[in-house]
Copies of this chain bind each other. A is one copy, B any other.
Amino acid sequence: MSELNRPICASTPPMGWNSWDCYGASVREEEVRGNAEYMARYLKSYGWEYVVVDIQWYEPGAYSSQYRPFVPLEMDAYSRLIPAKNRFPSSAGGKGFKPLADYVHGLGLKFGIHIMRGIPRQAVHAAAPILGTSATARDIAHPNSICPWNTDMYGVDPEKEGSQAYYDSLFRLYSEWGVDFVKVDDIAASRLYGYHAAEVELIRRAIDGCDREIVLSLSPGPADLEVAQHLSRHANMWRMTDDYWDHWHLLYGMFERCEKWAAFAEPGHWPDCDMLPLGHLGIRSVDGGGDRYTRFTRDEQITMMTLWVICRSPLMFGGELRDNDEWTLSLLTNEEVLHLHRYGTGGRIVFREGDVTVWTARDEEGQAYLAMFNLGEGPLVSRLELALAEAGESFPTAMDLWSRCEMEVHEGAVVVSLPPHGSILLKLA
């Protein structure tokens, strides 16, 4: 139980950038560096810090958001996948992600990677060795454990001698590289097998055995509420939702998910609404969306940010940061909004009837916040009683945090006018 003496990792909800929404499985080193540089220059001072390389950085032929099934992957002598040299040139010579991580650290930021649960199928069929054990990949692979949407790995059988050694060897390598954040996929809500609790435990132990603080993020969702405690005891963030994109119906559905999961947000443990599909997206996407600016209207973007913030989801920007316009940047640099995200507490829904819903939260100084959302298709004009934020209390002032305007408070309420899909976030005093 000694790991419990450590300082809390992810004591506030992580903020950063992830390569998936713009580059799918195919991001390249110069793109990662470029986004890191943008973040260091424009976003770091607002709390943004993680730069995360998403799925299949070990696949030399990856060119889009689609996986090529059953192709050979770059792997070291110990069944561990390593960066594809053609895509990550600094990794050549067995250096792995160390040079890239060093560069990101040099910018004052943190570096993250994505991995698939399990061990490479190519290692299993070849009975490749594992560091620190005489068991081979063939010995520890589970005979009935695949990912239904990607063919890279077999799951690891936790009952087998050598399974912990494999995950230990993996995270020791990531520690050596300087990895600060690992997003493990196909683990929180497999479509074939449910939640992979035992592999989560192997990974938790592997991380605890490292000298490095590494944020553990679990995907995909929707995670099952029934295992909320196990997730919370073992991971720093986990997806409450299936893959999220710039469609209103997905944002609409997130309100119900946030409602269910809000009670589980606490320092070190964050239910995750998935990446923010904002700005320039789908640059090498071959699916539906294609290369585009976010399909969300500005009202919807505000609504999304407000929801993510008040329920304290991690904020991982999904677009190509360097192509941000001023509007998009403004969404990421509103200090008071981000203050609530960082120091909020007790975020929860206090009212819902039809398409109108109201959330509240406090910050660390006890300041109250109130957000009102119009999820309907028509405009909404409504009285909003500030006492919703706290029964029995009265609030003389209310500031709209997005427009930076003071609202007129009359008999304990403000009059709010919201466009369809729009919202308002108020700080009360």
A residues with a Cβ closer than 8 A to B are 1-2, 4-8, 67, 69-71, 121-122, 124-125, 127, 138, 141, 143-144, 146, 148-151, 192, 225-226, 228-229, 233, 259-260, 262-264, 348-351, 385, 387-388, 391-392
Known A125-B121, A228-B260, A260-B228: A4·B141 in contact at CB below 8 Å: no
> How many angstroms from the CA of A118 to the CA of B67 in the assembled complex?
21
Contact of A1 among B4, B149, B264, B388 (CB under 8 A): B388
* Contact (Cβ within 8 A) B125 A385: no
Known A69-B138, A263-B263: A4·B387 in contact at CB below 8 Å: yes
Contact of A5 among B7, B141, B349, B392 (CB under 8 A): B392
* Contact (Cβ within 8 A) B143 A144: no
Known A1-B351, A1-B385: A143·B149 in contact at CB below 8 Å: yes
> How many angstroms from the CA of A351 to the CA of B151 in the assembled complex?
35
Q: Point out the residues of chain B lying under 8 angstroms from A349, CB to CB.
A: 229, 233
* Contact (Cβ within 8 A) A4 B391: yes
Contact of A70 among B7, B138, B388 (CB under 8 A): B138
Q: Point out the residues of chain B lying under 8 angstroms from A391, CB to CB.
A: 4-8
> How many angstroms from the CA of A49 to the CA of B385 in the assembled complex?
34
* Contact (Cβ within 8 A) A146 B144: yes
Copies in the complex: 4
Contact of A263 among B1, B5, B264 (CB under 8 A): B264
Contact of A4 among B144, B146, B225, B385 (CB under 8 A): B385
> How many angstroms from the CA of A67 to the CA of B143 in the assembled complex?
10
* Contact (Cβ within 8 A) B146 A151: no
21 contacts between A and B (CB under 8 A): A1-B351, A4-B391, A5-B387, A5-B392, A6-B391, A7-B391, A67-B143, A69-B138, A70-B124, A70-B125, A70-B127, A70-B141, A71-B138, A225-B225, A225-B226, A225-B228, A225-B260, A228-B263, A229-B259, A229-B262, A229-B348
* Contact (Cβ within 8 A) A69 B141: yes
Closest B residue by C-beta to A123 = B70
Closest B residue by C-beta to A122 = B125
Q: Point out the residues of chain B lying under 8 angstroms from A148, CB to CB.
A: 143-144
* Contact (Cβ within 8 A) B260 A388: no
- The 5 A-B residue pairs with the shortest CB-CB distance in the complex, in nearest-first order: A144-B148, A263-B263, A69-B143, A225-B225, A229-B259
Q: Point out the residues of chain B lying under 8 angstroms from A70, CB to CB.
A: 124-125, 127, 138, 141, 143
Closest Cβ of chain B to A17, distance in Å, is 29
Q: Point out the residues of chain B lying under 8 angstroms from A1, CB to CB.
A: 351, 385, 387-388
* Contact (Cβ within 8 A) B143 A233: no
> How many angstroms from the CA of A260 to the CA of B228 in the assembled complex?
7
Q: Point out the residues of chain B lying under 8 angstroms from A141, CB to CB.
A: 69-70
Closest B residue by C-beta to A191 = B144
Most chain-B Cβ atoms within 10 A of its Cβ — which of A5, A7, A149, A233?
A: A5
Q: Point out the residues of chain B lying under 8 angstroms from A259, CB to CB.
A: 229
Contact of A233 among B5, B233, B350 (CB under 8 A): B350
> How many angstroms from the CA of A233 to the CA of B387 in the assembled complex?
15
Q: Point out the residues of chain B lying under 8 angstroms from A151, CB to CB.
A: 143
Known contacts A1-B388, A8-B391, A70-B125; 19 further A-B pairs (Cβ under 8 A): A1-B351, A4-B385, A5-B392, A7-B391, A69-B141, A69-B143, A121-B121, A125-B125, A143-B151, A144-B148, A144-B192, A192-B192, A225-B225, A225-B226, A226-B260, A229-B260, A229-B348, A233-B350, A263-B263
